[in-house]
A = this chain, B = another copy of it.
Amino acid sequence: MGKSKSQFVSEITPMDEDFAQWYTDVIKKTDMVDYSSVKGFMVIKHYGYAVWENIQAHLNKRFKDTGHKNCYFPLLIPERLLQKEAEHVEGFAPEVAWVTHAGKEKLAERLCIRPTSETIICEMYAKWLKSYRDLPFLYNQWCNVVRWEKSTRPFLRTSEFLWQEGHTLHETYDEAQEETIKILNIYREMAEEFLAMPVLVGKKTEKERFAGAHSTYTMEALMHDGKALQAGTSHNLGQHFTKAFDIEFLDRDGELKNPYHTSWGVSTRLIGGIIMTHGDDRGLVFPPKVAPIEVVIVPIATQKEGVKEKAAELFERLKNTTRVELDDREHYSPGWKFNEWEMKGVPVRVEIGPKDIEKGQAVLFRRDTLEKTIVALEDLEKEVTRLLDDIQKNLLYKAKRARDEKTFYVQSFEELKDIMSTKQGFAKAMWCEDPECEERIKRELGVTIRCIPFEQEKLGDSCPFCGKEAKEMVYYAKAY
């Protein structure tokens, strides 16, 4: 109680001093997350979970509007199933958790906690699919997965996380490819329009693709510190799994065939992305559409007659159209509340005190620019809506500008090395498609090809790192 603004701010390490510490300070102080006693496993607190609920609601609608249905598949996968697709087991076996006992009994076969569900879902699809008439299969599940990580950070990389995983089957390669790209577009629109987080979209290199995929597509965002975040992936799995799992259907021509297969997912990692895209030295900054609370009303001088009542009236007026909270706690000062809600990134604050009531007005504070404006009470709903809309757009605009300022065209290894050791960010360059050239950059600089973007630019004729003929343009970055 009675904390001053400087005390609040002093509890958060400045971003440009130590970004990792800034991140930890912010998420711990804002009821976003906490560490559990199992290393690498996080507790998603109510304020963080509310963000996930908003993402879920948005994506669920998009998925359902495009014909997808939700299901639920078992948490545990028998070892023999995991092993059926060779690349897949190689990719995931080192990081799965094994259940070996139930009660006092040892299990006949070890079961792993799903790191992803291709294998157990394919086993079921093999039972369910009979004819081309059953296709496409368009299913999704929302669930938890476990991948044992050595080095973890809440939301960004944790041994357990929440996600959705879509798994679809199609008659032809083209239909599977169309689905893969359709979902990537849904993800991109969600990132940009809902999270105000601009993303590059494109294909992963062979080295970076999903274990068992024919090709992997990705969206990549740039965080405040210049590191990239892989924010969602969509895989065209070809027939890798459908052959390994004997999934067959009777086609129009009377022949038995293996269908084509996709899978795609986004996770609670997106929450980390929102924080590291929009946050500032005062704490969180939420885009309104995904904010747990869009508007907070803080009454001033509540001991004065009519203030509490007026604040409650404004709350009633706003609650039908916005996620609004009335902060009528009595043992905190308005100044303390201002600071707390700023730290928690609420997009708009409405201040209402005796003088405002006298003048028939309220003060609106916007978190993104820290500006205050005065509005007539009769225009409140309209002005709040307009302001939320403006904040949403401004955050996307700012994030795009920040990304563009940290996107560099590099023409030599030295340039890439220099940029990655100073400003970081995205480095765009031509690429020879040689995995060895890619590997050398990773080994020497800790920098990976984030994607081969759909939007290609012709930056030259040769690979700036090995001199061989260039095949396409790619984006390099250090990544989370």
Give A residues with C-beta under 8 Å from B. 34, 36-38, 41-46, 49-50, 52-53, 69-78, 81, 93-104, 111, 113, 120, 123-124, 127-128, 133, 139, 143-144, 146, 148, 160, 162, 331
- Knowing A81-B37, A97-B101, A99-B97 are in contact, say whether A75-B43 is a contact too (CB < 8 A): no
Closest 6 pairs (CB-CB, A-B): A46-B69, A41-B74, A102-B148, A44-B72, A98-B101, A94-B103
Check if A123 sits within 8 Å of B37, measured CB to CB.
yes
Check if A72 sits within 8 Å of B49, measured CB to CB.
yes
SS of A interface (majority):
mixed
For the complex, what is the distance from the CA of A52 to the CA of B46, rounded to whole Å? Answer: 22
Which residue of chain B has its CB nearest to the CB of A34? Answer: B124
Across the interface, A71 reaches (CB within 8 A) one of B44, B77, B124, namely B44
Check if A144 sits within 8 Å of B143, measured CB to CB.
yes
Residue among A71, A104, A160 facing the most chain B CB atoms (10 A cut-off):
A71
Can you list 12 A-B pairs, Cβ within 8 angstroms, ordered by A?
A38-B77, A41-B75, A41-B76, A43-B73, A44-B71, A74-B160, A75-B146, A96-B102, A97-B101, A98-B101, A103-B148, A143-B144
Check if A124 sits within 8 Å of B94, measured CB to CB.
no
For the complex, what is the distance from the CA of A44 to the CA of B98, rounded to whole Å? Answer: 23
Neighbouring B residues of A73 by C-beta, 8 Å? 36, 43
Check if A113 sits within 8 Å of B75, measured CB to CB.
yes
Check if B94 sits within 8 Å of A98, measured CB to CB.
no
Which residue of chain B has its CB nearest to the CB of A268? Answer: B72
Check if A36 sits within 8 Å of B102, measured CB to CB.
no
Check if B38 sits within 8 Å of A78, measured CB to CB.
yes
Across the interface, A34 reaches (CB within 8 A) one of B34, B44, B127, B148, namely B127
Q: How far, in Å, is A77 (CB) from chain B's closest CB?
A: 8
For the complex, what is the distance from the CA of A255 to the CA of B77, rounded to whole Å? Answer: 50
Across the interface, A144 reaches (CB within 8 A) one of B49, B75, B98, namely B75
